[in-house]
Amino acid sequence: MISQLRGTVLERELDRVELLTAGGVAYLVHIPLSVFEQLPRVGEPVTLHTALVIRDDAWELYGFVAATDRALFQLLRTASGVGPSLALSLLSSLTPTRLVQAITARDVPTLQRVPRVGKKTAERLCVELGDKLKAWAPAAGEPARGAGASDAVRALVALGYGESDAERAVAAAIEAARGASPADLIKRALATLQGR
């Protein structure tokens, strides 16, 4: 199994990156949007944790910045009807934290916002993975997943920001000001999203 790749970025697209290793071999790696946002420029080095998926017609690599994201990708694929492309879509549309929270809380409407996830698929994810993901859920008092943070994320999504971007901005706001009110979190997150 190829569990990690270290190489130079030859080409990068929203859903894939081509890496040239020191041995002179180039690998095409499928990635979620969150990884694309963290990739260095072409010509710079990067290390990705990878999962190799072997099918009858192809061997494909999927890459992640964190080993925990790779583990979540592999766990998602254990659910009925969830292949690698749908698992990648889930991780592209929702942050790992929000995805785990949605599945464990049986938040079907949030899961249905992911392309290609209908009500039945969302319910199946909750039923089949809810208990398995409880160990991934945050500690009860962790502020990033509290009601105030959820309210702030919803407000930012209503303003037109993507859920992944809103999640990251709110998480940064919480790190900067623990115990802040939802209104203050929104202000701080907006400043981050607008680059101030």
Hey, what are 73's tokens? 């990708």
Q: Is the pLDDT of residue 93 over 50?
A: yes
Domain spans of the chain, in order of start = 4-64, 67-136, 143-193
Is CATH 2.40.160 correct for 143-193? no
Q: What is the CATH number of domain 4-64?
A: 2.40.50.140
| Cα–Cα separations (whole angstroms), residue 52 to 28, 69, 191 | 11, 14, 39
Q: What is the pLDDT of residue 174?
A: 76
Q: Give CA–CA dist 195/53, Å, rounded.
A: 38
Q: What confidence tens digit (pLDDT) does each residue in 9-52 have?
A: 999 999 999 999 999 999 999 999 888 888 899 999 999 999 99
Q: Whole-prediction pTM value?
A: 0.70
Q: Is domain 67-136 annotated with CATH 1.10.150.20?
A: yes
Residue range 102-135, pLDDT digits in tens:
999 999 999 998 989 999 999 999 999 998 888 7
Is the Cα dihedral 162, 51, 99, 46 positive or negative? negative
Band of the pLDDT at 146, cuts 50, 70, 90? low
Q: How far apart are CA 82 and CA 75, in angstroms?
A: 10
